[in-house]
Amino acid sequence: MIVSVTSQGNSLIMGSVCSCKSDHYADENTTRRGFSSRYFKFGSSKWLESSPFLPSGCCQFRRRSCPSLMELCIHKICEDIDKYHSFSMLPSDVSQLIFNHLVDSCSLSDNCIEAFRDCALHDMCMGECTQVKDNWMDVISSQGSSLLSAYIAGTEVTDIGLSLLRNCSNLQALGLDCCDKISDGDIKHITGFSNLKYLGFRKCFGLTAEAMKSLSGLAKLVKLDFERCPLIHGGFIHLEGLTILESLTIRGCKCITDSDLKSLAGLGSLKELQISCDNITNVGVSYLRDLNKLVVLNLEGSDVTALCLDYLTALTSLQSLNLNRCHLTDVGCEKFSALSNLKELNLGFNNITDTCLEHLKGLTKLEGLYLDSCRISNDGLAHLAGLANLKALELSDTEVGSDGILQLSGLTKLEDLNLSFTSVTDNSLKTLSGLTSLRSLNLDTRQITDSGLAVLTVGLTGLTHLDLFGAQITDSGAKYLSYLKNLQSLDLCGGRLTDAGVKNIKDLSSLMFLNLSQNPKLTNTALEYLSGLTSLVSLNVSNSSITNDGLQYLKPLKNLRSLYLEFCGVTVCEIKKLQAKALRNLARYRPQ
């Protein structure tokens, strides 16, 4: 492959480039829970995952020891992006790579968006960029019939900007988030996109039931998202003709009532329904009983009781049920035993006890069970011993202790286990060390010490995620981490580490997320030890003794996208210098 690029933007590129896929309406790969706190634990990693709008395989540079020539060229172009006025002469696949990389590094701006005019791009996902304005929409529109997907999150986009998209007649996926300046009247422009398969209006506070009339003719829609749109009550009657709709999300729409669900009763192709509205009761659930293709149902936060299970048992295809925060008690929980096809069940934050678990022991197909913050004790875990297919088990903030862990010894397929805020101690960790399939383990509890970590690392060498937030880990215990060569995520916030302990982490070359905050004795030497972890995407060393002088050791971490150094001797000015000179992918940092 030969690449030549001049500062005037004239380019010659020969060789193969990746092709862009057009099937972007597939479900997002969302995580159940990320790392929960913005400052002291990692923020959600969802922002790092591929968007449903971006073509898989060509939006992210692959992490490996030697980048391809194409990757190096794209990276160099993006470093010098202000030198180029137009990429329209490049092959569209190459322009697409440049655009995606700018989005991925949060570098797309008013200064460079114009260079993508008339590039025949297939995908224009703006990622986290919220500065999209009508002039950006004009550039998007210039892609014409080539454009297959667009994602715009911008409060500055108006009716004029939306109307410009009418030139993009082949759009298959369109996301409009936080676009509050678009009026009901001009939503009508969407009716011309007859090929749309995905349509999203997240946090569009101006979208009303009246505007939803414009969606009635979009017969090819497969996925529709109205998350946090507060004015759409009564508009679902306009969706009755969307006969091939497979996925509908109305999470966080507090205006939704039972009557709205009645309009969904005829959508026989629905496979996924995300409701999560506190006005929904058992009556609303009763309207769903004929949706016999439904595979995923999320009723989180709804005002339902176990009586709703009478209707759900008619859904023979149901595999995933979320009843988190639904105020359930043990009363009526015997009806869970009829949901024998369930693979995932979330009962977190309900007032259920061990009695409820007794009725789950026949759900032998379960692969994920989430019981966080329930009144579950050691005795209740005995009812789970026969769920041999379990891969994920959430027991955080329950009454489970060391004796209960013994009941888990037969769950040999378990990959993800959360025991945060329980009374589990070092004494029970020998049982966990025998669960060799474990990949993710959360032990966010102060009862865990160096001794427990030593036991764990004997059998759990395949771990990729380990959360020891708040555990009493010292330099002596940190030496056992060197056995966990596959770790991609490690949380040691609030431990008792010094620089000597961090030295044991320096060879964990697969680490992408590392949280060492609340270890006040860490100094610039700790950053020197971490300088070889070039796969790091997120690093938190807040509340430590690190100063500006230590920032030099972060220069090799080219993949770093979040950096937290709050309450250290580090200034915003020096972080910005580091970002400009060495860490071009750094998108989030504190202090800021």
Distance CA 536, CA 131 (A): 28
Q: What is the mean pLDDT of residues 281-309?
A: 95
Each residue of 10-32: pLDDT tens digit?
333 333 333 333 333 333 333 33
Give the β-pairing of 513-515 and 489-491: parallel
Contacts for 115 with CB less than 8 Å, ≥ 6 apart: 9, 81, 84, 85, 86, 87
- How far is CA 169 from its chain centroid? 30
Task: Fill in the DSSP letter of residue 496.
Answer: B
Each residue of 379-432: pLDDT tens digit?
999 999 999 999 999 999 999 998 999 999 999 999 999 999 999 999 889 889
Q: What is the mean pLDDT of residues 568-575?
A: 95
Give the β-pairing of 2-5 and 11-14: antiparallel
Distance CA 317, CA 576 (A): 52
Domains of the chain, residue spans: 66-121, 473-591
- How far is CA 260 from its chain centroid? 28
**May I ask the CATH class of domain 473-591?**
alpha beta
Total residues found in the chain within this entry: 592
Q: What is the mean pLDDT of residues 282-298?
A: 96
Contacts for 395 with CB less than 8 Å, ≥ 6 apart: 371, 372, 376, 381, 417, 418, 419, 422
Q: Crossing angle for the helix pair 92-104 and 69-79, nearest 10 degrees?
A: 60
Nearest to 49 by CA among 22, 21, 24, 29: 29
Residue with more model confidence, 522 or 128: 522
Each residue of 137-196: pLDDT tens digit?
999 999 999 999 999 887 788 888 888 998 898 999 999 888 888 877 778 778 888 899
Report the percentage of the chain scoring pLDDT > 90.
67
Asked whether the predicted pLDDT for residue 468 surpasses 50, the reply is yes
Q: What is the mean pLDDT of residues 252-258?
A: 90
Q: What is the mean pLDDT of residues 196-220?
A: 89
Q: Do residues 163 and 139 make contact, with C-beta atoms less than 8 angstroms apart?
A: no
Q: Do residues 123 and 24 make contact, with C-beta atoms less than 8 angstroms apart?
A: yes
Residue with more model confidence, 127 or 561: 561
pLDDT at 574: 96
Q: Do residues 309 and 338 make contact, with C-beta atoms less than 8 angstroms apart?
A: yes
Distance CA 21, CA 118 (A): 19
Residue with more model confidence, 68 or 454: 454
Q: Where are the alpha helices (DSSP H) in 395-492?
A: 402-405, 429-433, 450-459, 475-478
Work out the mean pLDDT of the chain and round it to a whole number. Answer: 86
pLDDT at 560: 95
pLDDT at 128: 74
pLDDT at 14: 31
pLDDT at 214: 87
Asked whether the predicted pLDDT for residue 255 surpasses 50, the reply is yes
Residue 501, both tokens: 């302990």
Q: Do residues 321 and 342 make contact, with C-beta atoms less than 8 angstroms apart?
A: yes
Rg of the chain over all Cα atoms, to the nearest angstrom = 26
E strand segments, 197-260: 198-200, 223-225, 247-249
Distance CA 352, CA 242 (A): 38
Distance CA 268, CA 292 (A): 7
Report the percentage of the chain scoring pLDDT > 70.
89
* Confidence (pTM): 0.85
Asked whether the predicted pLDDT for residue 270 surpasses 50, the reply is yes
65 pLDDT band, cuts 50/70/90, is low
Q: How many helices and strands in the chain, by DSSP H and E?
A: 16, 22
Up-side HSE of residue 28: CA atoms within 13 Å toward CB? 22
Q: What is the mean pLDDT of residues 459-480?
A: 94
pLDDT at 28: 34
Q: Do residues 502 and 516 make contact, with C-beta atoms less than 8 angstroms apart?
A: yes
Reduced to 3 states (helix: H, G, I; strand: E, B; else coil), residue 110 is helix
Angle at the Cα of 89 from the Cα atoms of 153 and 17, rounded to 5 degrees: 75
Distance CA 238, CA 165 (A): 23
Task: Fill in the DSSP letter of residue 428.
Answer: G
**Which amino acid appears at position 90 of this protein?**
L
DSSP of 534-551? TT-SEEE--SSS-BGGGG
Reduced to 3 states (helix: H, G, I; strand: E, B; else coil), residue 259 is helix
